Amino acid sequence: MDITFILAQVFAILGWLFLLYSYYKEDIQKLLFVQIIAAIFDTASYALLGADAGLLICGFELVKVILYYKTDKDGLIFLISLPIYCVIAWFSCKDEGLIALLPVIGSVIDGFVLTRNKTIATIGSIVSSILWVIYDVVILAYSAAATDSILILSNIFALMLGYSYILHIKKLHIVRCRYLSRRIYSNIVALDREVFSDEYLWTFDQHKNIFDNNSNIIMFLRDKKKIIGYISYIVITPEEYDRLKRAHTFYYGLGDAEVTHLKKRRKNYVLIESVALKKNYESKKMIEFIAKKLRTEFRNKCKQGYRICGAISVGVSDFEKTLLNDLGFAHIKDYREKEELYELDKEAVDSFVKPL
């Protein structure tokens, strides 16, 4: 057997192993470095096989990975990449024929679904991987075909698991947190760590201080007895509400001066502080479920005589942003990286609390 062919298969396996290893790196720079190594092995594998499309796409994907991590312009990067993919397709098809279109189409699909929700991204990844498997088999990249097949099976399993949660959504319920203990706090932190980075985590004393002023503001989402997420909102002063709208950066260290509690015969302003949910429960059905519960919460407060004149929230995770859009919040501005400020003004609140 040709040594070049063997090395190509070995490099493909090494590239896959380095890619898997990168997912265990929490530091973004280390993750990027490991993924660059993975891309180099993939590129070398296709180069040894003389596969023009695989070689060019892997090289270009390496540049895209760096741009994705260094900027927050995912949509713009995708649009700019389209003419480059056309050039790659034209050049590759001259030597490899129409089979070269398969990895090009697969990579375009990957880029398109990158900014979509988790279900669409998973389906897109399955379709893309199938196209790559066909291409890999034709050009004799058997190791790459095997690793891509594993990816297809894992994504299908994740998709089926996600649908199993959706089918049982009627068994989900929300429980209001009546007191804040360290055990309950540990549940909050565990959920936060799954969704947010450490800079967004609050200490127990911070949570307790705010909870003392805003009792019943934390609502846990439970699947039977298992806590799978939580929602928390805080009543803030009008001054803090205006400051958040004017500020260029979002400050999370709320204290006694900024936090208040619901009162009748005055204007109340709400900060939806966090919506954290286990990744495998994220779905359109879950967004509808949470949106309905929040709408009911606000409506009941208004029925009790509390005047809610505005609500504000900073979307950090993709799930939070999708939820806020579904609730009718208007996007106000971007703070930093992927933080986005949303608002439900007085007119929108009045519409929000009306019976459906």
> Under the phi-then-psi rule, with left for phi > 0, alpha for psi from -120 to 50, and beta for the rest, what region is 240?
alpha
SS3 270: strand
DSSP 283-350: SHHHHHHHHHHHHHHHHHHHHTT-EEEEEEEEE-SHHHHHHHHHHTPEEEEE-STT-EEEEE-HHHHH
Percentage of residues in the chain having pLDDT higher than 90: 0
* Mean pLDDT value across residues 89-105: 86
What does pTM read for this prediction? Answer: 0.52
pLDDT recorded at residue 335: 76
pLDDT score of 292 more than 50: yes
Tell me the sheet residues that pair with 268. Answer: 308
pLDDT recorded at residue 218: 81
Average pLDDT, the chain: 78
| Cα–Cα dist 89/113, whole Å | 20
Q: Which CATH class is domain 170-352?
A: alpha beta
Give the chain's length. Answer: 356
- For residues 311 and 302, the answer to whether their CB atoms sit within 8 Å is no
* Mean pLDDT value across residues 148-159: 73
Name the amino acid, one letter, at 18: F
Residues 6+ positions from 98 with CB-CB distance below 8 Å? none
| Cα–Cα dist 203/221, whole Å | 21
Percentage of residues in the chain having pLDDT higher than 70: 79
What is the pLDDT confidence band of residue 167, given thresholds at 50, 70 and 90? Answer: very low
- For residues 18 and 38, the answer to whether their CB atoms sit within 8 Å is yes
Q: Where are the domain boundaries for CATH 3.40.630.30 in the chain?
A: 170-352
pLDDT recorded at residue 166: 46
What is the pLDDT confidence band of residue 147, given thresholds at 50, 70 and 90? Answer: confident
